[in-house]
Structure 1
Amino acid sequence: MRNHLSIDWRAPHAKLKPHIDGAGGVVYVKGGKKAGLSIFADILRQNWLPEAETFPWITYTVDPRDFNVRYTNDLVREIAEYTLINLPKPKKSANVHIEVAKNIRTNSFNLTNVPISTHPRRDFDQERAELDALCDGLRKFLLKSRFALIFTEAHDLDKGHQKDLKREIWDRKFERLIDDGLLLIVLLDSSKEEGKDKEFPPPPHLIIELPEFLPQEGHDDRTAALHDLVRFAMHNSWYQTEKEAYAFAETLMDCSDSMSDLHARFSGVRGRRGVTHA
């Protein structure tokens, strides 16, 4: 169900069309803080991919700030659960035995500031088996469907996380699924990303630059954005005539100082009018 209206993102949609239709690859989507990157990601997930006519899509979004997927083995298990791919069960129980104190001869004692970690040692054989099973499952899945892995806030990936993702998941693993139709979409804040040497994400097949600011009066892109807003307003019977709808659209755009601001204002109007989905 749509939560956002795609307001004049025809050029990005046209560039992405081969991938929406099923071609695998690595796509960077770049933009400044006012470009509406998060809204673009929502439109991609909720509008463009579900409406593809060639393949049904499943998307999984990774936020580097989410501790639940900080470790690559956790990410593998999350993706497997999301795509309903069975992973091999651990051969051994991960029980942990803890001795806090031993052979102490006294009637009473206090222990303070004693950190205890109950994480068992990593079972690398088990992790490799799980990753192999996930790759095999995705390869079969991609015969009839498509899977997109979307990294938001990718500019916030620290060096250690980049190295783990490259070495443990991407190289010679997910990388080999590109030809089968795997799509990796990476959202990058241009103001934070430029000039950084990265181990992950891998080099892109396509780079899309999102504008931060609205097109000037008379520009074809501005006209297209007006048409998007007018069409939506008329479809939802907000106005009786297109002249009224155009006046609304022009006022909304004149009051907005950026793409993210335009989407936020439009979302507010929809909320006040009781239209929660685009």
Structure 2
Amino acid sequence: MKSCGFCGKQMEDNMVYCPECGEANSTKVTNGDRTTEGNVSTLAGEEPKKKLQPLPPLAGQPTYSAEPVYTPTVDVKVNTEARPELKAKLQSDAYGTQPQATPYGTQAQANPYAVQDPTYYNTGSAVVTEQKSMNVVLGTIGAILGFVIALAIWYFCTNILHVIIYLHGFVFVFLPYFGYRLLGRRSNVVVAAVISIVALLLVYPTEIIFGTLSVKDQLEDKHYYLDLTYEEASDLYEMAREENSSFNAEIIWNFIIIYLGVAVGIFSIISAETKQR
């Protein structure tokens, strides 16, 4: 038998909680040769294992308590009618502004009690600006890669397969836009407009250059002894356009089809951007 350390009531040795006051006296229970205290069980004559103690916190690290901390809440009632300045502060909008009468009319004044935007401070603004700059650089690289891939497809179809795919113009706009969004992770109407303008400016010289190379390859295949330079092939290309009306009409028709594809691509990407906004 043992006595409760709180009320003095006699209780059994293997009892933990006092039957009188209900307080816990000890977690040590003896059952034959085995003694259990908490989660540690030892035999008679055996030294109990030491409990692992938590490491002390490093210098500068905050310490945390395992016990819950309760903060009492108090229902405070403020007579806002007697304090009009408090009423104005409580009725301020989400951005922390409140109207203030001035000789020049009613103006908004910042409320110091409102929650500020995290990007208001220099650190947050610098992080956001750096992220935007990095996205623009990666997006520009993606757009350039898109133009290169579109030019490769255009050259392969025109000069190797000798076919005119009427999706040249659409691919010439869509691939740079897709590359910008893929690497830059974002895009807007300004990006779509810039890509559209660049595509419109590159269509004419690209078709002329690829047409000249196509004429050069066809003449060298037909006459194996010819070894034309690009300048000579360009002169022959311009001469054929001036003297052969059907050849010139075919080139003009190709330009019309390609520019129609570019127009469809521009309309598609700008429509997609305006819908996202």
TM-score bin, normalised by smaller chain: under 0.3
Q: Name the TM-score, length of structure 2 as normaliser.
A: 0.20
Which of structures 1 and 2 has the larger relative contact order (alpha carbons within 8 angstroms, sep 6+)? 1
Q: Name the TM-score, length of structure 1 as normaliser.
A: 0.20
Q: Which has the larger radius of gyration?
A: 2
**Structure number with higher helix proportion:** 2
